Chains A and B, each alone.
Chain A
Amino acid sequence: DTGVSQDPRHKITKRGQNVTFRCDPISEHNRLYWYRQTLGQGPEFLTYFQNEAQLEKSRLLSDRFSAERPKGSFSTLEIQRTEQGDSAMYLCASSPQTGHHNEQFFGPGTRLTVL
């Protein structure tokens, strides 16, 4: 399978715990994006990497959120001291640097439930 993969697909945690999600983009894509999606909403941008550099961060990304892409390949998104409001689907997408319109290819998402 050469698409974007995310792990885990589902995560249930207790409030206050830390969680980490992983995203493996399409191998030749150097751009990687994280989004959060809550019920009844479209994806909301969280952060964006070009290779290993984190180029943009949304105001939605509080201090409890951190993302890394250490070698410009896979990325991790960590949420510290989770809150019930963090419950959402976390989507990862990748895109190539070149291309006609740079559409993003999405992974299946990680659904987080904070109890």
Chain B
Amino acid sequence: EAGVTQFPSHSVIEKGQTVTLRCDPISGHDNLYWYRRVMGKEIKFLLHFVKESKQDESGMPNNRFLAERTGGTYSTLKVQPAELEDSGVYFCASSSYKNTQYFGPGTRLTVL
């Protein structure tokens, strides 16, 4: 069974540009989560999808971040426009109902 995959693994962009991160959850997992780890800080929750619906987006830092999960399969996280403080590692995780979350390898985003 394939695990959670994320694309790209690394992204380097300039301040003001747009970046879109993608997450493909484990097949059949209705729950999809996004997390972020800014350098030197804790891994922080961003939001949670149940199928295509946003269950909890309390961790989204501001309106420059837009997450979607059309069709309840893969998810994208768009940052527009990117700022320096958005640099970090973005993790995606998926789970079936109430079960353990399985994490992807992360996307390392660097904003210059």
Asked if A and B are interacting partners, one says: no
Residue numbers of B with Cβ under 8 A of A are none
